[in-house]
Every structure is written in C-alpha cells, then in structure tokens.
Structure 1
Amino acid sequence: MSVSHLLADADVYAMGSGRLVAIVAALTGLIGVAVGGLALARSAGRPSTGTGTGTGTGTGSGRRGSIIAVVAGLIGIALGGLVVVTADGGLGTGNGLGGGVVAMAVGLVGAILGGLALTRSRRTAERSGTGQ
C-alpha cells in the first residue's frame, strides 16, 4: 500500500462544499418536518379535558408553526436542488448528490406537512368564528 493510495482514500472523508450544503439542506428540511408535524398535531384542536382553565391541550392554531414548516421545507428543496444541479459526478463521488436528493425529499415532506397544518388551522379558525 503506497502513500498516494492512502491520500486518495482520505478524500472520501473530506467535507466538501457539496456535502456541506447537502447536510444543511437536509437539516433544514428535517426542521420543517418536525415543526410541521407539531403544527399539524396542534392544529387538531383537541377538546378540553374539563380541568384547569378549560382550554385543553390544543389551544394554539399552529399557524405560525405551519408557516415556518412550509418555509423551511421550501428552503430545503431549493438548497437540495442546487446541490443536485451543481454536482459534478454521480452518486458516490463525494459531491453531495445523494444528500441533495434526500434534502429535496425531506423538504417536500416538511412543506406538505406545513401546508396541511396551515389549511387545518384556517378551517379551525373559520369554524370557531375568529376568521383570520
């Protein structure tokens, strides 16, 4: 095993710009999924348990969280798409192509969850008569 062979293997573990942007995009999309899931659960508006103030556990409309989820999901999709478009090689070349594809998928899920939560929060607001 020569020194040049060992140096060539070191590039596999190097953090290039493609990999870094793909990781940031995937994490941004994952934040969108988490916030969107929480907003969707919160927008369900669970009924009161009859204890305390009578407001129940689903007091918030989840509107702010759903907007954050949509925006984070769209940012994840955009950054992932940027990585996919600018990747020089195919999968396994270290340019972040796989991470970009994953980031686009996770960002799409986050945007969809946020959109569903936003739609549900609007319906809940219209039913309760607060109308935003």
Structure 2
Amino acid sequence: ALRQAAARGVRVRLLLQGRPDFRIAAVAAQALYAELQAHGVHIHEYQAAFLHAKVLSVDDSWATIGSSNLDPLSLVLNLEANLIVRDRAFVSELNASLAEDFALSNEVPPWPDHDPGWRGRLRRRAVAWLAQAYLRLSGV
C-alpha cells in the first residue's frame, strides 16, 4: 500500500526507530528499505531517544494511534488496539508533533549509498527470507 501510494504521487514518509532495541528487527526492517525507496517512500530514523509510537497521519483529515505495529505479523499474532481519529484540530496538532520528531531524525540515503557491503546485504536478505518464511508458515 505504501509503494502504491508513493507511485500515485502521495508523499509517503516513514519515521522509524533509529536506535533499535532488537537488532534482528532492525535488520529485517532495513531489508525492505531499498524496495520502498525505489518506489518513492522516504525513510527517516529517529535519533533523539527510543521511539515506540505507532501513529499514522493521512493529510490533515484523520489519524490512527494505538499499540498495533501495523504489520501483518503483529496484526495476526498480537492482541492490539488502535483508535481512528477524524478530528482536524487533533490531526493538526499530531502533525505538528510529528514534524518536530522528523526534525530529530536522519533521512536514510537511497539504498546503494548506505549499504555496508556484501555481509550487510547477505544478512538483510537472510533475515527478510526468514521473516517471509515465518509469515507463510503462520498462514499470514
């Protein structure tokens, strides 16, 4: 969905954890960076502190906030809850807060510019393959 939105010309920016608490989760996420960036998605890593927020803001019209990681694995395996808010004043305030967080982040350079070499590529591909295999086996 993110790739399709970016392909339609929608500005898609992700604000992700820059200081991972679980290294394997960071490697799995980074395995997807190249594909997302190739479709026009901008990826930023938050550096100021640990980031655990799960929010999505769409234009200035609505947002979702909650505990869900918004990925297939979390949606299937975890009991999560999110609220959808359709209040322009709230969304405007949320967007202002997100703008401050984006200012404390670093945009990840396009894929070849930040690739650490063949070991990093191999590690990311292995983790991505394992994550996909796990999703298939779990029926997601």
**Normalising to structure 1: TM-score of the pair?**
0.26
Give 1 or 2: higher strand fraction: 2
**Normalising to structure 2: TM-score of the pair?**
0.25
Give 1 or 2: higher helix fraction: 1
**Rg: which structure is higher?**
1
Larger relative contact order (CA 8 Å, sep ≥ 6): 1
